Amino acid sequence: MVRDEETLTLLLDTLARFVRERLVPAEAEVAGTDSIPEEIVAEMRRLGLFGLTIAKAAPLASAQQA
């Protein structure tokens, strides 16, 4: 979770630009091939769109099961 306004604004601006510049232009290709080009997926990885954020205070699953 983003807790400060400046970081949230930067994140949203980055995502809006990525959608506008990379995803929208690729829409026809994705619809036609039913797959997302690997270079776009790689960019999404670099942007951290596949990462999970878990709070440092969150208990570990193994500790909950013990």
Give the predicted TM-score (pTM) of the model.
Answer: 0.69
Which structural domain range is residue 26 located in? 5-65
Residue 2 CB partners (closer than 8 Å, separation 6+): 8, 11
CA–CA gap between residue 65 and residue 28 (Å, rounded): 47
Domain count, the chain: 1
Helix segments in 1-66, DSSP class H: 5-18, 27-33, 38-46, 61-65
Tens-digit pLDDT profile for residues 17-61: 999 999 999 999 999 999 999 999 999 999 888 876 666 665 665
Residue 18: the pLDDT is 96
